[in-house]
Amino acid sequence: MPRSETPERPMRTTWVPVHPDLAPTRRSLRAQAPGRSLRPLLIGSAAAVVLAIVVVALVAGPMLARAGESDRTEQYASARAEAVSARDEASSARSDVAAAIATRTETAERMSTALAGAEGYADEAARSTAAQAVAAYADGLGRLELPSEPAAVPETATVETDEDLDRALTALDGAEAEADATIAAVGEARNRMAELDAEFSAALEAFRGSLLPRAEVILGENPDAVEDFRAAVASAAQSAADASDPAQLEQRLKEFASAVDALRADQHRAAIAIEQERLEQEQREAEERERQQTPVVPAPVPTPDPSPEPTPETSPEPTPEPEEPTPTPEDPTPETPAPETPAPDDPTPETPAPDAS
């Protein structure tokens, strides 16, 4: 049934008398109230509680304070360790990229020298294009900007209060932010360096592709060299074309140039020998033509000598008599010497020599 429909009870207004034995008296009320004997106990208990609180405050207060300071110190140490790690990571990344830039710059310089030395051996158009690409590579490396070395992470001696901790953590946050900025800048430089590396590698690859066709041209220009020199040029060109590493390519280009020099020197030797042989052959042919063009003159027929006329015998000349010694004065009669008989003339006439014609 709804509450509104419940019939209201009439208020009792009739007084009901209380039995005298049931009515409270002052004594009974005094007996029901706390007695005076409990007050000292209550007072002592309250004092003990207050004393305990004081003792706890005196003992636990410093302990709680020390516990709070220990928590702050631990929190600061953890935050600083993270900041130091971030700073070391940034410094290491920066050093790595700086070393990589220096190495690549040196490689570009050496490759530029190698390409300059390949003039006259490599295809000139390909060599010139590669040299320009190497110069652009070196210029791009020089334009890479690296951030400065990140500062050392600050260190706070003590963090006795929460305010000290807040200030210390703020300083550490700044150090971490600087490290993060350094890492970001180093990353940008690394990405740009990778782009330069790709362009540099593509230029060298195109240059290496021109070496084998160039070797064929050189072999055609030196056809008379010994086969060993020709094989050496072909092998050196193949090795240079396969050298994808810039340092290896530099060495292979030197070997290719040396092989080409040896080939050309042998071609020069062969050319001299061929020219000498040609001149000798021309001389032999000229002599043969001259021999064929000269008329043959018959050898003269010898004529017999005419029979000589008989030569009269010649009498031998008389031997003169030995001279007598001159007479001395004791012998006044000298002997008359016999007259000398002259020798007859040689009547044999001279025979004229035959005419050689």
Query: Which stretches within 146-245 are classed as H helix?
Result: 162-208, 211-221, 227-242
Q: What is the pLDDT of residues 196-239, one digit of tens each?
A: 999 999 999 999 999 999 999 999 999 999 999 999 999 999 99
- The reply to whether the predicted model has a pTM over 0.85 is no
Across the chain, what does the average pLDDT equal?
78
Model confidence pLDDT, tens digit, residues 293-331: 877 667 677 776 666 665 656 655 666 665 655 555 554
Query: Is the model's pLDDT at 253 over the cut of 80?
Result: yes
**Which tens digits make up the pLDDT trace of 126-152?**
999 999 999 999 999 999 999 999 988
Give residue limits of the domains in the chain: 44-149+160-208, 210-289
Pairwise CA distance, residues 110 & 108, whole Å: 6
Question: Predicted confidence band at 195 (pLDDT cuts at 50, 70, 90)?
Answer: very high
Question: Quick one: DSSP state of residue 265?
Answer: H
Q: Which residue has the higher pLDDT, 294 or 50?
A: 294
CA distance 171 to 314: 159
* Residues 242, 196: Cα–Cα separation, whole Å: 22
Label residues 262-285 b or e (16+ Cβ within 10 Å = b). Answer: bbbebbeebeeeeeeeeeeeeeee
Express each pLDDT in 87-110 by its tens digit.
999 999 999 999 999 999 999 999
> Which tokens go with 302?
């010898």
Q: Residue 129: CA atoms inside 13 Å, Cβ hemisphere, count?
A: 16
Report the distance separating Cα 309 and Cα 302, nearest Å: 21
Average pLDDT estimate for 339-343 = 51
